[in-house]
Amino acid sequence: MSNKNTLTLTDNRTGKTISLPIQAGTAGPPVVDIRGIYGDFGLFTLDPGFKSTASCTSNITFIDGEKGVLLYRGYPIEQLADQSSFVETSYLLMKGELPNQSQLDDFDQLITRHTMVHEQLLNFYQGFRRDAHPMAIMVGVVGALSAFYHDSLDIHDPRHRELSAIRLLAKIPTIAAACYKHSIGQPFIYPDNNLDYAANFLKMMFAVPGQNYQVNPVVARALDKILILHADHEQNASTSTVRLAGSTGANPFAAISAGIGALWGPSHGGANEAVLKMLYEIGTVENVPKFIKKAQDPNDSFRLMGFGHRVYRNHDPRAQVLKKEAKKVLEALDHHDDPLFKLALELERIALEDEYFIEKKLYPNVDFYSGIIESAMGIPTNMFTVMFAMARCVGWIAQWKEMMVDKDLVIGRPRQLYQGPAQRNYKAVNSR
């Protein structure tokens, strides 16, 4: 009897057939389990960029790119951005359910207790040139955490894993703000545990020892939203990097440092920095059509940064939340006539009416508006990707923790289609 939940393949070279099981998830396309292909057929599969390949099973985040839906543990991102806090969302991502009040208070306190970094870690910053890119510092310092917290490095001990997770979540804003302070030659500001997660970060970024610093609540709330919106995003390039590094048994600080490196690229987390650079390059609304044309020219490497996404083919729900938030923040900060925002709106309007962008389903992504808000907050452009890393850290941790208890966990080791020379004999240099 034929089983409906299989895919039958025939190797036409040999006539041999194989039935591969099809597994359905809670949502999204079902997957064909191809693990048997090599054993039964002696074949590998080829899928550069993982366009059709699921690398793992996961219960954390789900995207429906056709409908523009993003869920964390089943909850729509719009509801979380509107009603939750970053700390509560972090609990949800890490533990699977929303906390009750006392669970939330305990979690909040636990994070607060771990916000300081080892004093010696601060010396580490002095080794970096003053003009180092903050992401370069971030990759190094997060990796260096493994040299400071030996008591939580046993990846097979659940208590160690939990402690590392809390340490990363708690210390990442302190590390990020210190990257900025180092770059402008100001003293590091210690965490203020009376403030919430976002407000504490703003204080560590902008306070100076000689003056009182008051956090603007509208700015703190907007930052909290930005953190929620960036917190996790399925098996994207940096998360997959964290999983791949973690699958070797590397400690979580090392794995997350690898993820930060992957996030840096302009096709991924580096896009928010690239959006601002692009807006400055475009300069005025009159120049928009010229740049829209450039983006379509196959001989020009220019792309509209902040547009397009591998998964979203309708709209990026995070961008829609941020567009509204940008208006609020600019008003609260008295930047009503922000020329960059006006330029961004015009660019978005023209691109969304353009045949090329419509046909290729290219919509503004999360990076298109985050940079404008962050810029209005006074955050310099070269810190934007650091902000992204700070937010995504909890997603990386949640995915790493999930992987560590996955019964299918094995070292990640892709195959390849080798097209180099066949075996040949070495020739001495004088006979080549």
Known catalytic residues?
309, 367
Nearer CB in complex with ligand CMC: 197/388: 388
Helix (H) or strand (E) holding 75: strand 75-76
Q: How many angstroms from the chain centroid is the CA of residue 272?
A: 12
Nearer to ligand CMC, 5 or 267 (CB): 267
Count residues binding ligand CMC (CB under 6 A). Answer: 20
Nearest CA to 18 among 31, 27, 9?
9
Query: Per CB under 6 A, does 269 bind ligand CMC?
Result: yes
Q: How many angstroms separate the CA atoms of 66 and 370, rounded? A: 22
The residue from 176, 223, 305, 379 that contacts ligand CMC (CB under 6 A) is: 305
- Least separation in angstroms between residue 357's CB and ligand CMC is 7
Query: DSSP label at 235?
Result: B
- 3-class secondary structure, 128: coil
Give the residue with the Cβ less far from ligand CMC, 171 or 268.
Answer: 268
| 276 near ligand CMC (CB under 6 A) | no
Strand order across the beta sheet in which 61-64 lies = 61-64, 69-72, 75-76
Q: 111 vs 244, which CB is nearer to ligand CMC? A: 244
Q: How far is the CB of 78 from ligand CMC (least distance, A)?
A: 17
**Binding status of residue 236 toward ligand CMC by CB under 6 A:** yes
Task: Choose the binding region for ligand CMC from 100-108, 244-252, 338-346, 364-372 (rule: CB under 6 A).
Answer: 364-372
CA proximity to 95, closest of 398, 390, 391, 400? 398
Q: Binding marks (x or -) toward ligand CMC, 245..264, rule CB under 6 A?
A: --------------------
Task: Please state, in angstroms and rounded to a whole number, the distance separating the CA atoms of residues 390 and 168.
Answer: 9
Identify any residues that bridge with 6 across adjacent strands, giving them in sequence order: 21
Task: Figure out which of the listed residues 367, 369, 375, 402 binds ligand CMC, where binding follows CB under 6 A.
Answer: 367
CB 328, min distance to ligand CMC, A: 22
Give the span between the Cα atoms of 45 and 34, in whole angstroms: 8
Task: Say whether residue 362 binds ligand CMC (CB under 6 A).
Answer: yes
> How does DSSP classify residue 383?
G
Q: Which two tokens stand for residue 366?
A: 């999360």
Residues that bind ligand CMC in the complex, under the rule CB under 6 A: 233, 236, 267-269, 271, 295, 303-310, 360, 362, 365-367
